[in-house]
Chains A and B, each alone.
Chain A
Amino acid sequence: QLHLQESGPGLVKPSGTLSLTCTVSGGSISMGAFYWSWIRQPPGKGLEWMGSIYYLGYTYDNPFLRSRVTLSIDTSRNQFSLNLNSVSATDTAVYYCVRQAQSNLDYQFDHWGQGMLVTVSS
Protein backbone atom coordinates (compact mmCIF):
# COMPACT_ATOMS: atom_id res chain seq x y z
CA GLN A 1 0.00 0.00 0.00
CA LEU A 2 1.48 3.32 -1.08
CA HIS A 3 2.03 5.81 1.73
CA LEU A 4 3.11 9.46 1.51
CA GLN A 5 4.26 11.45 4.53
CA GLU A 6 5.04 15.16 4.70
CA SER A 7 7.72 16.50 7.03
CA GLY A 8 9.31 19.83 7.79
CA PRO A 9 8.96 22.90 10.01
CA GLY A 10 5.43 23.77 11.02
CA LEU A 11 6.29 27.43 11.57
CA VAL A 12 8.07 29.72 9.13
CA LYS A 13 8.87 33.41 9.54
CA PRO A 14 7.57 35.96 7.02
CA SER A 15 9.93 36.52 4.07
CA GLY A 16 11.57 33.18 4.84
CA THR A 17 11.53 29.91 2.90
CA LEU A 18 9.08 27.09 3.47
CA SER A 19 10.73 23.70 2.95
CA LEU A 20 8.86 20.41 3.02
CA THR A 21 9.82 16.86 2.15
CA CYS A 22 7.55 13.99 1.19
CA THR A 23 8.73 10.47 1.95
CA VAL A 24 7.13 7.75 -0.16
CA SER A 25 6.87 4.18 1.08
CA GLY A 26 5.27 1.07 -0.36
CA GLY A 27 6.39 1.89 -3.89
CA SER A 28 9.31 3.33 -5.83
CA ILE A 29 9.28 7.00 -6.75
CA SER A 30 11.38 6.04 -9.79
CA MET A 31 8.50 4.28 -11.50
CA GLY A 32 8.06 6.39 -14.58
CA ALA A 33 4.31 6.22 -14.70
CA PHE A 34 3.57 8.98 -12.20
CA TYR A 35 3.97 12.63 -11.30
CA TRP A 36 4.68 13.59 -7.68
CA SER A 37 2.89 16.73 -6.63
CA TRP A 38 2.22 19.34 -3.95
CA ILE A 39 -1.25 20.72 -3.26
CA ARG A 40 -2.09 23.18 -0.50
CA GLN A 41 -5.23 24.27 1.29
CA PRO A 42 -5.43 27.49 3.33
CA PRO A 43 -7.57 27.16 6.47
CA GLY A 44 -11.24 27.08 5.53
CA LYS A 45 -10.50 27.43 1.82
CA GLY A 46 -10.15 25.29 -1.29
CA LEU A 47 -7.37 23.29 -2.92
CA GLU A 48 -4.52 24.84 -4.90
CA TRP A 49 -2.10 22.86 -7.07
CA MET A 50 1.45 24.08 -6.55
CA GLY A 51 3.42 21.86 -8.89
CA SER A 52 4.41 18.38 -10.01
CA ILE A 53 7.72 16.64 -10.63
CA TYR A 54 8.71 13.59 -12.67
CA TYR A 55 11.33 11.16 -11.37
CA LEU A 56 13.80 12.42 -14.00
CA GLY A 57 13.51 15.92 -12.55
CA TYR A 58 11.15 17.56 -15.04
CA THR A 59 8.91 20.02 -13.21
CA TYR A 60 5.56 21.66 -13.88
CA ASP A 61 4.34 24.43 -11.63
CA ASN A 62 1.48 26.79 -10.99
CA PRO A 63 2.08 29.90 -13.13
CA PHE A 64 0.98 32.12 -10.25
CA LEU A 65 3.59 30.63 -7.92
CA ARG A 66 6.30 29.87 -10.47
CA SER A 67 8.73 32.55 -9.34
CA ARG A 68 8.68 31.30 -5.72
CA VAL A 69 8.43 27.51 -6.06
CA THR A 70 11.26 25.01 -6.44
CA LEU A 71 10.58 21.29 -6.70
CA SER A 72 13.21 18.59 -6.37
CA ILE A 73 13.35 14.81 -6.20
CA ASP A 74 15.76 12.33 -4.59
CA THR A 75 15.17 8.88 -5.99
CA SER A 76 17.82 7.33 -3.76
CA ARG A 77 15.80 8.31 -0.68
CA ASN A 78 12.39 7.90 -2.33
CA GLN A 79 11.60 11.51 -1.46
CA PHE A 80 10.52 14.68 -3.21
CA SER A 81 10.61 18.21 -1.84
CA LEU A 82 9.04 21.64 -2.04
CA ASN A 83 10.69 24.99 -1.42
CA LEU A 84 8.54 28.14 -1.38
CA ASN A 85 10.44 31.38 -0.84
CA SER A 86 9.41 34.88 0.23
CA VAL A 87 6.48 33.53 2.25
CA SER A 88 3.80 35.66 3.85
CA ALA A 89 0.75 34.98 5.99
CA THR A 90 -1.23 34.07 2.88
CA ASP A 91 1.00 30.99 2.48
CA THR A 92 -0.33 29.57 5.76
CA ALA A 93 -1.98 26.33 4.72
CA VAL A 94 -2.13 22.56 5.00
CA TYR A 95 0.36 21.23 2.48
CA TYR A 96 -0.32 17.83 0.91
CA CYS A 97 2.09 15.67 -1.04
CA VAL A 98 0.22 13.68 -3.63
CA ARG A 99 0.73 11.15 -6.41
CA GLN A 100 -0.77 11.89 -9.81
CA ALA A 101 -2.00 8.66 -11.37
CA GLN A 102 -0.11 9.12 -14.66
CA SER A 103 2.77 11.29 -15.84
CA ASN A 104 0.22 13.68 -17.32
CA LEU A 105 -1.22 16.79 -15.70
CA ASP A 106 -4.66 15.82 -17.02
CA TYR A 107 -4.87 12.89 -14.62
CA GLN A 108 -6.30 12.42 -11.17
CA PHE A 109 -4.53 12.51 -7.80
CA ASP A 110 -4.97 9.03 -6.41
CA HIS A 111 -2.79 8.90 -3.29
CA TRP A 112 -2.56 11.71 -0.73
CA GLY A 113 -0.41 12.31 2.32
CA GLN A 114 -2.20 13.19 5.53
CA GLY A 115 -1.21 16.84 5.13
CA MET A 116 0.92 19.16 7.22
CA LEU A 117 -0.11 22.56 8.56
CA VAL A 118 2.53 25.21 7.97
CA THR A 119 1.97 28.56 9.65
CA VAL A 120 3.75 31.71 8.52
CA SER A 121 4.17 33.98 11.51
CA SER A 122 6.84 35.91 13.34
Chain B
Amino acid sequence: QSVLTQPPSVSGAPGQRVTISCTGIPSNIGAGYDVHWYQQLPGTAPKLLIYHNNNRPSGVPDRFSGSKSGTSASLAISGLQAEDEADYYCQSYDSSLGGEVVFGGGTKLTVL
Protein backbone atom coordinates (compact mmCIF):
# COMPACT_ATOMS: atom_id res chain seq x y z
CA GLN B 1 0.00 0.00 0.00
CA SER B 2 1.45 3.34 -1.10
CA VAL B 3 1.97 6.22 1.30
CA LEU B 4 0.49 8.70 -1.17
CA THR B 5 -3.00 7.92 -2.49
CA GLN B 6 -3.88 8.26 -6.17
CA PRO B 7 -6.98 7.08 -8.05
CA PRO B 8 -6.17 3.85 -9.92
CA SER B 9 -7.56 5.19 -13.17
CA VAL B 10 -8.94 8.25 -14.92
CA SER B 11 -10.15 8.74 -18.46
CA GLY B 12 -11.10 11.50 -20.85
CA ALA B 13 -11.82 12.18 -24.47
CA PRO B 14 -9.34 13.95 -26.75
CA GLY B 15 -9.34 17.67 -26.11
CA GLN B 16 -10.80 17.36 -22.62
CA ARG B 17 -9.17 18.25 -19.31
CA VAL B 18 -8.48 15.66 -16.63
CA THR B 19 -7.03 15.91 -13.14
CA ILE B 20 -5.21 13.32 -11.07
CA SER B 21 -5.16 13.73 -7.31
CA CYS B 22 -2.39 12.76 -4.89
CA THR B 23 -3.42 12.68 -1.25
CA GLY B 24 -0.89 12.61 1.55
CA ILE B 25 -0.77 12.99 5.32
CA PRO B 26 0.70 15.51 7.78
CA SER B 27 4.15 13.89 7.72
CA ASN B 28 4.60 14.30 3.97
CA ILE B 29 2.62 16.70 1.75
CA GLY B 30 0.90 18.18 4.79
CA ALA B 31 4.30 19.02 6.30
CA GLY B 32 5.07 21.25 3.33
CA TYR B 33 7.24 18.89 1.33
CA ASP B 34 7.07 19.39 -2.40
CA VAL B 35 5.32 17.07 -4.86
CA HIS B 36 6.78 15.89 -8.14
CA TRP B 37 5.01 14.08 -10.98
CA TYR B 38 6.20 11.47 -13.49
CA GLN B 39 4.76 10.09 -16.69
CA GLN B 40 5.47 6.47 -17.60
CA LEU B 41 4.63 5.38 -21.13
CA PRO B 42 4.18 1.63 -21.65
CA GLY B 43 7.46 -0.26 -21.50
CA THR B 44 9.58 2.79 -20.70
CA ALA B 45 11.20 4.40 -17.67
CA PRO B 46 9.32 7.15 -15.87
CA LYS B 47 9.95 10.68 -17.07
CA LEU B 48 9.87 13.80 -14.91
CA LEU B 49 6.76 15.81 -15.75
CA ILE B 50 6.32 18.38 -12.95
CA TYR B 51 8.76 19.27 -10.16
CA HIS B 52 8.37 21.28 -6.99
CA ASN B 53 4.57 21.25 -7.25
CA ASN B 54 4.09 23.33 -10.39
CA ASN B 55 7.27 23.58 -12.47
CA ARG B 56 7.73 21.98 -15.88
CA PRO B 57 11.11 20.73 -17.14
CA SER B 58 12.19 21.97 -20.52
CA GLY B 59 10.27 20.20 -23.27
CA VAL B 60 7.14 19.38 -21.27
CA PRO B 61 4.12 21.01 -22.89
CA ASP B 62 2.22 23.64 -20.92
CA ARG B 63 -0.86 21.40 -21.19
CA PHE B 64 0.55 19.78 -18.05
CA SER B 65 0.26 21.69 -14.78
CA GLY B 66 0.51 20.94 -11.10
CA SER B 67 -0.81 22.38 -7.88
CA LYS B 68 -0.62 21.68 -4.17
CA SER B 69 -2.82 22.59 -1.23
CA GLY B 70 -2.82 21.28 2.31
CA THR B 71 -2.24 17.54 2.32
CA SER B 72 -3.00 17.05 -1.38
CA ALA B 73 -1.63 17.80 -4.82
CA SER B 74 -3.08 17.57 -8.31
CA LEU B 75 -1.84 17.08 -11.85
CA ALA B 76 -3.98 18.61 -14.57
CA ILE B 77 -3.76 17.71 -18.24
CA SER B 78 -5.66 19.92 -20.65
CA GLY B 79 -6.24 19.42 -24.37
CA LEU B 80 -5.94 15.67 -23.89
CA GLN B 81 -4.08 13.85 -26.66
CA ALA B 82 -3.80 10.16 -27.50
CA GLU B 83 -0.10 10.16 -26.63
CA ASP B 84 -0.93 11.23 -23.07
CA GLU B 85 -2.20 7.71 -22.36
CA ALA B 86 0.22 6.52 -19.70
CA ASP B 87 0.69 5.88 -15.99
CA TYR B 88 1.26 8.91 -13.78
CA TYR B 89 2.97 8.89 -10.39
CA CYS B 90 3.33 11.51 -7.67
CA GLN B 91 6.34 11.65 -5.35
CA SER B 92 7.13 13.45 -2.12
CA TYR B 93 9.17 13.09 1.06
CA ASP B 94 7.90 11.67 4.33
CA SER B 95 9.57 12.67 7.59
CA SER B 96 8.35 9.72 9.65
CA LEU B 97 10.48 6.61 10.24
CA GLY B 98 13.63 8.66 9.85
CA GLY B 99 12.69 10.05 6.47
CA GLU B 100 12.04 8.45 3.12
CA VAL B 101 11.07 9.18 -0.45
CA VAL B 102 7.48 8.11 -1.09
CA PHE B 103 5.43 7.56 -4.23
CA GLY B 104 1.77 7.33 -5.03
CA GLY B 105 0.43 4.04 -6.34
CA GLY B 106 0.06 5.42 -9.83
CA THR B 107 -2.88 6.41 -12.01
CA LYS B 108 -3.61 4.92 -15.41
CA LEU B 109 -4.86 7.58 -17.83
CA THR B 110 -6.97 6.28 -20.69
CA VAL B 111 -7.72 8.54 -23.64
CA LEU B 112 -11.10 7.44 -24.94
What's the nearest-Cβ distance from chain B to residue A63, in Å? Answer: 4
Which stretch from B16-24, B44-52, B68-76, B78-86 is at the chain A interface?
B44-52
In the assembled complex, the Cα of A30 lies from the Cα of B87 at a distance in Å of 33
Interface residue total, chain A, C-beta cutoff 8 A: 21
Interface residue total, chain B, C-beta cutoff 8 A: 27
- CB-CB < 8 A to B102: which residues of A? 49
Beyond A46-B104, A46-B106, A47-B89, whether A112 also contacts B46 by CB under 8 A is: yes
Q: Is A52 interfacial (CB-CB < 8 Å)?
A: yes
Beyond A46-B89, A46-B105, whether A109 also contacts B100 by CB under 8 A is: no
Q: Could you write out 17 A-B pairs with CB less than 8 Å apart?
A: A46-B103, A47-B89, A47-B103, A49-B100, A49-B103, A60-B99, A63-B97, A96-B45, A106-B92, A106-B93, A108-B36, A108-B52, A109-B38, A109-B91, A112-B46, A114-B44, A115-B45
A-B contact count (CB 8 A): 60
Interface residues of B (CB under 8 A from A): 2, 33-34, 36, 38, 44-48, 51-52, 57, 89, 91-93, 97-106
Question: Is the Cβ of A48 less than 8 Å from the Cβ of B103?
Answer: yes
Closest residue on chain B to residue A110 by CB atoms: B48
Interface residues of A (CB under 8 A from B): 37, 46-49, 52, 60, 62-63, 96, 101, 105-110, 112-115
Question: Is the Cβ of A108 less than 8 Å from the Cβ of B48?
Answer: yes
